[in-house]
A and B are shown apart, each in its own frame.
Chain A
Amino acid sequence: MSGGNPEGLPKDVGHRLEELERGLFTSDLSVNEFLLVKEAGFHPLGFVMGSSIHHTGVQTRRWSKSQELTKLTEAMYNARELAMTRMEEEAEVLGADGVVGVRLDVNYYEWGSDAAEFVAMGTAVKAEDGGSYRNVLGKPFTSDLSGQDFWTIMQTGYVPQGLVMGTCVYHIAHRGLAQAIGTVGQNVELPNFTQALYEARELAMTRMQDEATRLEATGIVGVRLEEKSHQWGSHTIEFLSLGTAVAKRGDEVTLPKPMAIISLDN
């Protein structure tokens, strides 16, 4: 994966980030999250972003065949990876230890059909005690955990290592006319649909786990599985799994015992 900014971008970026080095921080964290990140021993440095407007190619799909559309999978993966890498680079410029509250979005604009904006944004943070929280690849960690989740997980001895993802764009075969007629009026499982969904999901999850293994993580928390058709019609679906890979750093669990409350709000 070639990261980096396309030509002409670093100039603009540098200027905004220079200002941040003078002591001002920007953050899209809410006040609660800001206070909790401080409580966890980190200080926000800046709102970092990366984006890429990507044109997705086409791939012929066979009407009656279930298959992965590798070209589309590649496009979806590479574009996200590019956005993430650019975000990490901004965090690197700020000397951050990590990025919390990362959001990944895909926006479609009308001026470019087949062109989508992939954007990653989050808040770069730095440990106040000067400790290093970089991951095994020597990069700042990234995490889609909210400020609340970040504080909670830090109390249990786990440290986020990176936002991991896996994706798979899959074409699910249509049923033939004979098949459709054969099952009219019956309760039956449609094994080809079931199988296709299973396979696509497995592929996405496996790819995510591979990324976590590369980071030498002990687990992935907050996994989400999203299924989207984007603009490809109902039989082509992208399965995207996302989560934060974590690794155990210490044995000390400082999480206070939860207190049961019954709120009186209606």
Chain B
Amino acid sequence: MSGDDIPGAAFADLRAEVARAFAAPEGKTSGTDRGVTSDLSIDEALLLHSIGWEPIDLIFGASVVSIPVGIWTWGQGALDPASSAHAMAMTSASRRMEDQCASVGGHGAVGVRVAIEIHPRHVDVELTGTAVRPVGRAARRQRPFVSDLSARDFALLQGSGWAPVGLAFGASFVYAPRRTAGTVLRQSTQNVELVNYTQALYAARESAMERMQRSALEMSAHGIVAVRVDEGPMPFARHVIRFSSWGTAVALVAESHVGRQPRVVLALDDQVVQFAPEALHGG
């Protein structure tokens, strides 16, 4: 946070916010017809208020898509049915979340938790997050954004002239090639690179990352931050390598990037200097 907006004014605001929060359960707040539900922490909610946004409601998006029978058995190349099932589940889960967000009057969802489970016969995607909007502003005409960034990250981005535009994702599944018994035997005492395995991994990675990038370009994003990757063999089909990646697509909405001079702090709360009141009572 930049330094000049902390004292005085912000504190008065804080009081008003606390008063508003107390009034909320009795339905005295303006703007919402019912109380606010959110899984944000108190700090995060206050931080949102400090940039003029408010949480509205806890929203969900879920989708289960079936995978054709028998595709996990032996084969070569990529498992397109699995990756398209994955893409379909992710797309419709986030579409549902956007719809729900729009219906409660939100401009977007922050702190979205992404849970992806891949079973032999279906892909299960569940998204949970909090719908947010600028205080006292009408619902926006564009589609709401979905972002897995925390409210704190959202506030930071907002202050630097960036805004989240959506969740970018991509996944790919490929078969790990088989080595012949002869090759295994020949290589058993050597230091060698297993080129075909490496290539399979690259193929999975490249197509997953490319799909993620394409989904970000479709949202006309300028970048994807906090990309997370998940790779490795499937637990139920060890000869299949999965690579999935996702992150929040962001776009520069201000004229240019707003730099914020960081301040260097030295935290003094350490075990050594921490004050322990119970020590005064002699245990």
> Which residues of A come within 8 Å of B, CB atoms?
6-9, 12-13, 15-16, 19-20, 22-32, 34-36, 38-39, 44, 47, 49, 51-58, 71, 74-75, 78-79, 82, 107, 109-112, 114-115, 117, 121, 151-152, 255-263, 265
A24-B217, A78-B191 given; A47·B227 CB < 8 A: yes
| A58 in contact with B212 (CB, 8 Å) | no
A6: contacting residue among B157, B198, B226, B259, CB under 8 A: B198
In the complex, how many angstroms separate the beta carbon of A264 from the nearest chain B beta carbon?
9
Q: Please, which residue of chain B has its CB at the minimum distance from the CB of A78?
A: B191
In the complex, how many angstroms separate the beta carbon of A35 from the nearest chain B beta carbon?
6
Number of B interface residues at 8 Å Cβ cutoff, please give it: 59
| B191 in contact with A74 (CB, 8 Å) | yes
Provide 14 A-B residue pairs closer than 8 Å at the C-beta atoms, listed in order of the A residue: A8-B199, A16-B209, A26-B213, A26-B216, A28-B229, A38-B259, A55-B194, A57-B188, A57-B190, A110-B233, A110-B238, A114-B188, A115-B194, A258-B264
Complex: how many Å from CA A199 to CA B268?
39
Majority secondary structure of chain A interface residues (helix, strand, loop or mixed)? mixed
Q: Which residues of A contact B222 (CB under 8 A)?
A: 23-25
Q: Please, which residue of chain A has its CB at the minimum distance from the CB of B235?
A: A110
Complex: how many Å from CA A114 to CA B183?
14
| A13 in contact with B197 (CB, 8 Å) | no
**Contact residues, B150-170 vs A (CB, 8 A):** 153, 156-157, 160
| B209 in contact with A47 (CB, 8 Å) | yes
Q: Please, which residue of chain A has its CB at the minimum distance from the CB of B164?
A: A31
Majority secondary structure of chain B interface residues (helix, strand, loop or mixed)? mixed
Complex: how many Å from CA A228 to CA B262?
37
Q: Please, which residue of chain A has its CB at the minimum distance from the CB of B274?
A: A262
**Contact residues, B184-230 vs A (CB, 8 A):** 187-195, 197-199, 201-203, 205-207, 209-210, 212-214, 216-217, 221-229
In the complex, how many angstroms separate the beta carbon of A84 from the nearest chain B beta carbon?
14
Q: Which residues of B contact A12 (CB under 8 A)?
A: 202-203, 206-207
Q: A12-B207, A38-B160, A44-B223 are in contact. List 19 more A-B contacts (CB 8 A).
A: A9-B198, A12-B206, A19-B210, A19-B217, A26-B212, A28-B227, A30-B153, A32-B153, A47-B209, A57-B189, A58-B189, A78-B191, A109-B233, A111-B176, A115-B194, A256-B263, A259-B264, A259-B265, A262-B268
Q: Please, which residue of chain A has its CB at the minimum distance from the CB of B153?
A: A31
| B201 in contact with A258 (CB, 8 Å) | no
| B213 in contact with A9 (CB, 8 Å) | no
- Nearest 10 CB-CB pairs, A to B? A31-B153, A25-B223, A12-B206, A53-B197, A75-B191, A258-B266, A258-B264, A28-B227, A57-B191, A26-B224
Complex: how many Å from CA A71 to CA B191?
8
Q: Does B5 contact A (CB under 8 A)?
A: no
A58-B188, A111-B233 given; A24·B193 CB < 8 A: no
In the complex, how many angstroms separate the beta carbon of A203 from the nearest chain B beta carbon?
18
Complex: how many Å from CA A29 to CA B228?
9
Q: Which residues of A contact B192 (CB under 8 A)?
A: 54-55, 57
Give a binary string over B248-275; 1 marks a CB under 8 Å from any A CB, 0 the rest: 0000000001011111111111000000
